[in-house]
Amino acid sequence: MIERCHRSAALLAAAALSSLACRFEPKVPELRYSLNRPAVDKNPDLAGDLGAQAQLEGALELMFGTPAGPRYLAAAEWLEGGFDPNYWGEDHVKADEAGWSALVASNRAAYRQQLAAIRAGEFDALDRPRFADDLWARWQALRADIPAGGPDAEYLTTADGQKVTWREEALFRFENYYPTLANSASFYSNQCYHCHGAEGGGNGSTSSFLEPRPRDYRKGVFKFTALKGKARPRHEDLFRVLTEGIYTTAMPSFRRFTDAQLHGLVDYVRLLAIRGETEGLLVSFYAPEEGLNFDNVRENYDLVVERWREASEFFITYAGEVPEPTSERIAHGRALFTTAGEKGGANCVSCHGPDGRGGGVSAWEPGKEGKEYAKDEWGNQIQPRDLTRGVFRFGRRPIDLFRRIYAGINGTPMPEHFGMTISENGAQRTLNESDLWDLVFFVRTLSTHSAVASHDGGHEREAK
Amino acid sequence: MAGLKHFLLRVLTTLLLLAVPVLGVWTFVKAEEWGLWFPPIVSSYGAGIDNLFYVILWMVTVTFVGTELLLVWFVFRYSKRDPTRAVYTHGNHTLELVWTAIPALLMIFVAFSQMEAWSDVKLNFPEEGPYTVEKPLMEVYASQFDWRVRYPDAQGNFQGADVIEVPYDITVPADTKVVFRLKSRDVLHSFFVPVFRLKQDAVPGMEIPVWFEATQPGDYDLICAELCGWGHYKMAGRIHVLPKDEFDTWLAAKRAALYATE
C-alpha cells in the first residue's frame, strides 16, 4: 500500500514537472536603467555620495521614465510651440508625405491578414501581430466597443467633419499604426538590448564578442550621419542605419520589420541617447555645493533636446548633379589625398596610407614607438578604413562619400574637410565642394584598381 | 475468467500498437489539409526535387506499413499463453540473402533516380541566356547575420565603384535563368529558399555558382539554413521576383539612383 502511494506520488510529481515545462516561456528580464558607472566614478564628488546618486537616478526617471514606461517630461513651452517629444518621430514622419505613405504601405503588407479579417467580419480570426502589443490592446478595446448598429454603423466624426464607420476606424488603426515609446522599448529589449544594453551603453551581454563594439548612445555621438558640424543625427540618419545595417560589423539590416516598428526604434534610441547625454552632463558638472536642483537639471535637459531638435538644419545639401569624373579630377583628388598636411595637402595619407589601405603613420606609428594608439570617442583603437576593399559603411553612392569627406566621421579622428586650409601652387586656400568631389572620384578608383596609389612604400603594416 | 482477461489485454495491446501505423499514415494523408505540407513550387526544378521526396516517401511508406502490420500480427499471435517449448532455429540463408539484396537494390535505385535532379540543380548551369556562370546576375554575400546582394555596374564588374549593394531584399527577374555567385564573409551559412526548393551552403573563401528560374512573380522568404552563430534565427531575407521588364526598369532606376544627390 505504502509502495503504491510512493509510486503515484512520483507519477504526480513527474506530471506536474512536465506541465511546468510546457508552460515555460522564455522572457526578456525586466530591465531597469542604471547610472553610467564609469562616468560617475570619474567625478569624485559624486562617486562617494550615494544620496546624490539616488537623487540623480530619481531625476532621470522623472524626465525619461523607466524601460517599462519610457516617456519624456515635456516642457510646457515645447507643447505650446507644437513640439511634443513623446510623439517626436510620429509627427516627424507624418510631416513627410512620402515617408508616411511608405509606412502605411508597409503596415498594409504586414497586417494583411488582420485587414482581410476585419473586412470579412471574422473578428475571432485575427492573428495577434508580433511586437505590437499596443496595437493589439487598441484593437481589443475597439472590438469591445462595436456600436449597436453593427460594424458598419457610424462610429465617430473626425476633426474635419468626416463621418467614419467602426469598420473604417478599425482598418485605419491597423494601416496607420505607429508604435508607442513603451512598445518600442519592449521591441528594443527583444532585438537590440543584447548588444546595446538597457541604457544604450553598448554594454549588452553579447557586446564583448563583437569587434567593432556596439555603439554607446549615451554620448549622443553617432558615427554615421549626413550632417556637418558634428551635429546630432537626424531621424532619417538613424532610420537608414536600421534599414541598411552597417556592413562588416555585427549591426544587421532590420528590413524584415515594418517601417513603423523601425521608426519606433529610432524614437526609443533617441530617448536613450538624450537620457544618456543629459545624465553625462549632470554627472560631469555635479558639484556638492550646488547639488542637483531644478534649474541645472532643466538647463542641461533643454540643451540636449535642443541639439537633437536642430539636427536637420545641418543636413549637407548639394544642389546640382554629380560632376563628371574626368581624369584631371581624379589626378587632382589623388594629389590632395597623398599630400601630407604639412605640405599643404588634405592629409588623407596620414591615416589611410599612401595606398589607401588604412596603414597610415598616424594610425600605426604610435604603437611602434610604444605609445598609445589613436583612440576614438569611445576609447577603442581607431582602424582607418581600407578604401581598396570597397566597403563604405554609410553608403557607396558618390553623394554618400561626398558627405563623408565633407563632414568627417563623428567621434573619430576623421575630420570635417570642407573649409580645411590647404596650400596649392604656393597659394593658401580652403577646400571647396569641387575639391571634395575630386577626392570622392579618387577614392572610388581605389576599390576598382587597388594598385593605383601604391607608388611609394606600399602597405605600412606589411612593411613592419 | 483469467483466460478472458488475458485475451482482452492481448487485444488492447494489439490495438494500441496498431494505432502507431494508422496515426502515422493518417498525419501524412491529412498534412496538406492541415497546412503542414510543402509550400508552393516557384522554380523550374522544384517539382523534380519534390519527386525525389515522394519516391522515397512511398518506399518508406510501403516498408513502414508492411513491417508494422507484421509486428502487430506477431504481437497478437505470439502473446497467447502456449505451453509449447520454444524451438531453436539456426536462421535461413535464403531469407537473409533476400532481405539484404532488396534494400541494396532500393539504394541503388535511389542513387540513380536522383542523379538527374541533382545535376539539374547543381551542375547544369545555363550556357545561354542573359546570365551564365561567367556573367552572373548578382553576388550574394552572407555574413553574421544578414544577406546582402551586389549587382554589377553597367559594364558587368562586381568590384567597381558603381556596383549596387542592397541588404535583405534580393530582386530577380521571373521566367529567366538566373545565375548568381554565393559568398560568405565569415562562417558557414546556407542560402535556403523553400519555394524554390533551393539550398546551397555558403563557404568562406569560396565563390559558389547557383542558379534558379523563378516561375511566378511575388515575394518569397530566404532563410539561413546553417547554424551560423547566436544570431542565426534573425538571418532572414526576402526574394522579390519581378516580371522581366519590370526587373529591367528596377535595375535601371537603381543604377540611376546611384548618382542622385538628394
Percentage of chain B beyond pLDDT 70 is: 100
pLDDT band at A464 (very low <50, low <70, confident <90, very high): very low
Domain assignment present for A13: no
Centre a 10 Å sphere on the Cβ of residue B175 and count the other Cβ atoms it contains: 13
> Does residue A305 carry a pLDDT above 70?
yes
Q: Note whether B168 contacts A253, CB cutoff 8 Å.
A: yes
pLDDT band at A132 (very low <50, low <70, confident <90, very high): very high
Final residue of a structural domain among A286, A315, A344: A315
CATH number of the domain residue A376 falls in? 1.10.760.10
Residues A415, A303, single domain; the answer is no
The b-or-e profile of A156-178 (16+ CB within 10 A means b, else e) is eeeeeeeeebbbbbbbebbeebb
Residues A300, A429, single domain; the answer is no
- Facing residue for A255 by CB, picked from B167, B231, B235: B167
Q: How many domains are contained in chain A?
A: 3
> Does residue A455 carry a pLDDT above 50?
no
Residues A131, A252, single domain; the answer is no
**Would you state the pLDDT for residue B84?**
82
Of A29-33, A217-221, A345-349, B93-97, least confident by mean pLDDT is A29-33
Which residues, including other chains, have CB under 8 Å from residue A163's CB and lie 6 or more apart? A154, A157
**Would you state the pLDDT for residue A454?**
40
Q: Note whether A447 contacts B157, CB cutoff 8 Å.
A: no
In terms of residue numbers, what domain contains A337?
327-463
The mean pLDDT value for B96-117 works out to 94
Residues A346, A388, single domain; the answer is yes
Domain assignment present for A10: no
Final residue of a structural domain among A287, A315, A343: A315
Which tens digits make up the pLDDT trace of A250-268? 899 999 999 999 999 999 9
Tell me if chain A has a CB within 8 Å of the CB of B104.
no
Contact assessment for residue A412 and residue A376, using Cβ atoms and an 8 Å cutoff: yes
> Does residue A50 carry a pLDDT above 80?
yes
**Would you state the pLDDT for residue A373?**
86
> Does residue A176 carry a pLDDT above 90?
yes
> Does residue A451 carry a pLDDT above 70?
no
**Would you state the pLDDT for residue A159?**
87
How is residue A280 written as a grid cell?
553625462
**Would you state the pLDDT for residue A458?**
39
**Would you state the pLDDT for residue A15?**
67
Residues A184, A164, single domain; the answer is no
**Would you state the pLDDT for residue B164?**
92
**Would you state the pLDDT for residue A456?**
39
**Would you state the pLDDT for residue B232?**
92
**Residues 138-197, chain B, touching A (beta carbon < 8 A):** 143-146, 148, 157, 159-161, 163, 165, 167-169, 185
Helices (runs of H) and strands (runs of E) counted in chain A: 21, 4
Domain assignment present for A11: no
Domain assignment present for A35: yes
**Would you state the pLDDT for residue B60?**
93
The b-or-e profile of A114-141 (16+ CB within 10 A means b, else e) is bbebbeeeeeeebeebebbbbbbebbee
Greater confidence (A416 vs A370) lies with A416
The mean pLDDT value for A327-341 works out to 92
Which tens digits make up the pLDDT trace of A230-254? 899 999 999 999 999 998 888 999 9
pLDDT band at A290 (very low <50, low <70, confident <90, very high): confident
Which tens digits make up the pLDDT trace of B70-94? 999 999 988 888 788 888 888 899 9
Which tens digits make up the pLDDT trace of B13-29? 999 999 999 999 999 99
Which tens digits make up the pLDDT trace of A387-412? 988 888 888 899 999 999 999 999 99
Q: A389: nearest CA in chain B?
A: B159
Domain assignment present for A261: yes
Residues A299, A339, single domain; the answer is no
End-to-end CA distance of chain B, in Å? Answer: 93
- Facing residue for A250 by CB, picked from B144, B169, B262: B144
Greater confidence (B91 vs A14) lies with B91
**In 3D, which of A233, A247, A271 has the Cα closest to residue A392?**
A247
Centre a 10 Å sphere on the Cβ of residue A405 and count the other Cβ atoms it contains: 24
Residues A299, A448, single domain; the answer is no
**Would you state the pLDDT for residue A299?**
93
- B138-143 and B146-151 as β-strands: parallel, antiparallel, unpaired? antiparallel
Distance, CA of A374 to CA of A353 (rounded, Å): 15
pTM of full prediction above 0.95:
no
Q: B145: nearest CA in chain A?
A: A252
Dihedral of the alpha carbons of A292, A298, A299, A302, in degrees to the nearest 10 = 150
Residues A68, A198, single domain; the answer is yes
pLDDT band at A452 (very low <50, low <70, confident <90, very high): very low
Kindly list the residues of chain A whose beta carbon comes within 8 Å of any beta carbon in chain B.
191, 206, 243-245, 247-248, 250, 252-253, 255-256, 318-322, 390, 396-399, 444-445, 447-448
Which tens digits make up the pLDDT trace of B216-254? 999 999 999 999 988 898 899 999 999 999 999 999 999
Q: What domains lie within chain B, and their CATH numbers?
A: 2-122 (1.10.287), 138-257 (2.60.40.420)
The mean pLDDT value for A24-51 works out to 83
Q: Note whether A252 contacts B169, CB cutoff 8 Å.
A: no
Distance, CA of A438 to CA of A445 (rounded, Å): 11
Which tens digits make up the pLDDT trace of B131-177? 999 999 999 999 988 999 999 988 888 888 889 999 999 999 999 99
How is residue A217 written as a grid cell?
548612445
To the nearest whole number, what is the mean pLDDT of chain A? 88
pLDDT band at B3 (very low <50, low <70, confident <90, very high): confident
CA atoms within 13 A on the CB side of B6: 9
Domain assignment present for A322: no
Distance, CA of A146 to CA of A155 (rounded, Å): 8
How is residue B121 written as a grid cell?
540543380
Q: Note whether B236 contacts A256, CB cutoff 8 Å.
A: yes
- Which residues from A are below 8 Å from B261, CB to CB? 318-322, 399
Final residue of a structural domain among A175, A198, A221: A175
Residues A237, A310, single domain; the answer is yes
Domain assignment present for A249: yes
Percentage of chain A beyond pLDDT 90 is: 64
Residues A62, A167, single domain; the answer is no
**Would you state the pLDDT for residue B262?**
79
Residues A229, A308, single domain; the answer is yes
Q: B221: nearest CA in chain A?
A: A256
The mean pLDDT value for A149-167 works out to 90
Residues A390, A277, single domain; the answer is no
Which tens digits make up the pLDDT trace of A214-224? 999 999 999 99
Distance, CA of A129 to CA of A143 (rounded, Å): 15
Predicted ipTM beyond 0.85: no
- B177-184 and B138-143 as β-strands: parallel, antiparallel, unpaired? parallel
Domain assignment present for A406: yes
pLDDT band at A5 (very low <50, low <70, confident <90, very high): low
